[in-house]
Chains A and B, each alone.
Chain A
Amino acid sequence: MELHGVSLAFGGLQAVEQVSFGVAPGTVKAVIGPNGAGKTTLFNLVTGFLAPQAGRILFGGVAIQGRPAHRIARQGIARTFQLVQLFDHMTVLENVMVGRHRLSSSGLIAGALQLPWTRTEEKVIRQKALEALEFVGLADRAGQPAAVLPLGLKRMLEIARALASAPTLLLLDEPASGLDAVETERLQDLILELRRQGITILLVEHDMGLTMEVADEIAVLNYGKLIADGPPRAIQKNPEVIAAYLGTDWQG
């Protein structure tokens, strides 16, 4: 995934300005920066919820900027949301089953008539969804309504749902916010495990401990501009980043 000179302004506010960076396949890249630096906007641009006014976003060598979100999702880009967005009136399992949407094809009429091949497909959807729940440790909650889960598990469910779509690129928008230390540690293991499985991850995170542990590279945004991009060690020592965001605590 590559960004080339991506820009977006909301009225007079330049939310993202001439941002260019790449994420190498199979690596974890973190985007950090102060609140309002344009991180979530950047996510929305990559996932098609916003269209850039300038610049190109390449995924697998193909320009995807400006395409509708569902089409980008079908290319194999999945995401989670800063404020968890689950389907509250559906069960935990059903939430993850929706994740399989792009990989299945039964239409409205086929589903209504329960055609034989639909049933077969349904079994696969259920099986894969259960596997994803198993992976994040939520299998025992499968039958509960998603709304009753505590926040930490909701974040895990959101990740499971995204994983059910078998993404090649996974975007995690502040996955650790609201998690306690134990949960954050589990999240860290999960991210590293996903990386081991070859999934490319783009991460927005304020928890610097987590970020430093999992990220292969870090891009730093400030007022919509990219001020640094490189391995964690270099970022920690970058004076501009320290001034804008990290403070002196993280100076190596």
Chain B
Amino acid sequence: MTRLWFLNRWVLFAVVAGGIAAFMDQDYYYTLLNFIGIHTLLVVGLNLLLGYAGQISLGHAAFFGLGAYTSGILTATVGVDPWLALVAGLAVSGTAAFLIGLPALKLRGYYLAMATLGFGIIVYIILNEASDLTGGPSGLSGIPSLSLAGFAFNTPRRLYLLIWILLGLILYISANLVNSRTGRAIRALHDGEAAAESLGVDTFRLKLKIFVWSALYASLAGSLFAHTLNFIAPSSFGFMFSIKLVTMVVLGGMASIWGSLLGAGALTVLPELLTVFHDFEMVIFGAILMAVMIFLPRGLVRGILDLYENRRYKRQGGSFPV
């Protein structure tokens, strides 16, 4: 029964995503959907770390940037095959995450948050200053599009196919992960590190693994981003974007794979709708973060379900067991 329902969600995802591809013909919407897809990749990865494992990264934009710039530099400047460059980006981001996580995760507490915060700022500065390599603040252009067997992903609609098929796979893999042995151990260490240790879970190693894993998602998103825009500049990879990602995780719901899609979707579309308020974007994001934390601490999806359940319980004269 649950199994069937679970399957249905994937069918729904495929039908909706495929339906859009079949019927929509405005490039603007495809572009928007592509950004939603890329953001969702980032948010799912961050959610695995933040929502499931309970570890905070305030520098995920940096891994996004490392992926984007590794792809960008290797393809535009060196002329490497884009797919190979993407893999190189994964290697760079994964190694960086490993090296940060190694000391930061050994310690209890919020050292990872501080280390990633610092790392994010350092990467941002390097992207700006190493202009010989990165093009500096004015950015890096001439990044080729991805192509597969002669089919170039060079229009918003074609990119949509690539990004959303990849996203579907990543969502599927992530949902599998959280319900696997390792996924349970990750959730367990979040709820009770000592108890997890007492059952043979090497919590340090597992935190490091999921941190690296999460950085890989960001790197993949970064490479796709670079090949989607064909141009990248440091401003896309700053501290504020890291915070935006955290907001998307919280809005969609911590420890919710599908919530990630919703959180990323909502906060990608919102600025488009509120272009008048552009100067206040960060204020609005801050307000959303606060409001969700206070009123829907489990995020939009579960929060609304909770409200519904709560009402039902109250009608039956009971109280909702939280």
Contact = CB atoms under 8 A, between A and B. Distances in A.
B168 to A, nearest CB: 14
B194 A85 contact: yes
A95 to B, nearest CB: 8
A64 interface: no
Nearest to B200: A102
Contact of A106 (B182, B196, B209): B182
A170 to B, nearest CB: 11
Contact of A112 (B173, B198, B199, B200): B173
Nearest to B196: A98
B198 A86 contact: no
B260 to A, nearest CB: 15
A101 B177 contact: no
B191 A86 contact: yes
Contacts of B198: 47, 49, 69-70, 73, 78-79, 81, 162
Contacts of A47: 198
Given A49-B194, A88-B191, A98-B185, A122 B180 contact: yes
Contacts of B201: 70, 98, 101
Contact of A113 (B173, B181, B188, B191): B173
A114 B176 contact: yes
A114 B200 CA distance: 22
Of A68, A111, A113, most B-chain CB atoms within 10 Å: A111
A134 interface: no
B213 A101 contact: no
A99 B184 contact: no
Contacts of A81: 194-195, 198
Contacts of A97: 181, 184
B199 A78 contact: yes
Main DSSP-derived SS at the B contact region: helix
B312 to A, nearest CB: 16
B281 interface: no
B202 interface: yes
B194 A106 contact: no
A88 B210 CA distance: 21
A87 B191 contact: yes
A107 B183 CA distance: 9
A74 interface: yes
Contact of A104 (B181, B190, B192, B255): B181
B93 interface: no
A112 B177 contact: yes
Interface string A93-119: 011011111101111101111100010
B197 A70 contact: yes
A54 interface: no
Contacts of A94: 184, 187
Contacts of A161: 195, 199
Interface string B251-274: 000010000000000000000000
Given A108-B182, A112-B173, A90 B200 contact: no
Interface residues of B, number: 31
A87 B199 CA distance: 12
Given A90-B188, A148-B321, A111 B199 contact: no
Contacts of B182: 106-108, 111
B185 A101 contact: yes
Contact of A108 (B187, B196, B210): B210
Contacts of A78: 198-199
Nearest to B184: A98
Nearest to A145: B321
A125 interface: yes
B194 to A, nearest CB: 6
Interface in A54-86: 68-71, 73-74, 78-79, 81, 85-86
Given A69-B197, A69-B198, A73-B200, A101 B187 contact: no
Interface in A24-40: none
Contact of B203 (A70, A88, A104): A70
B183 A90 contact: no
Contacts of B173: 112-113
Contacts of A113: 173, 176
Contacts of B184: 90, 94, 97-98, 101
B194 A98 contact: no
A207 interface: no
B197 A108 contact: no
In this complex, which of B176, B199, B202, B213 has the most chain A Cβ atoms within 10 angstroms of its Cβ? Answer: B199
Contact of A87 (B183, B192, B202): B192
Interface of A: 47-49, 68-71, 73-74, 78-79, 81, 85-90, 94-95, 97-102, 104-108, 110-114, 118, 121-122, 125, 147-148, 161-162, 165
29 contacts: A68-B202, A69-B197, A70-B197, A81-B194, A88-B192, A94-B184, A94-B187, A95-B188, A97-B184, A98-B196, A98-B199, A99-B199, A101-B184, A101-B199, A101-B200, A105-B181, A106-B180, A106-B182, A108-B210, A108-B213, A112-B173, A112-B176, A113-B173, A113-B176, A122-B180, A122-B181, A125-B181, A161-B199, A162-B198
List the 10 closest A-B pairs by CB distance, nearest first.
Answer: A111-B180, A102-B200, A73-B200, A87-B191, A69-B197, A85-B195, A112-B177, A148-B321, A112-B173, A85-B192
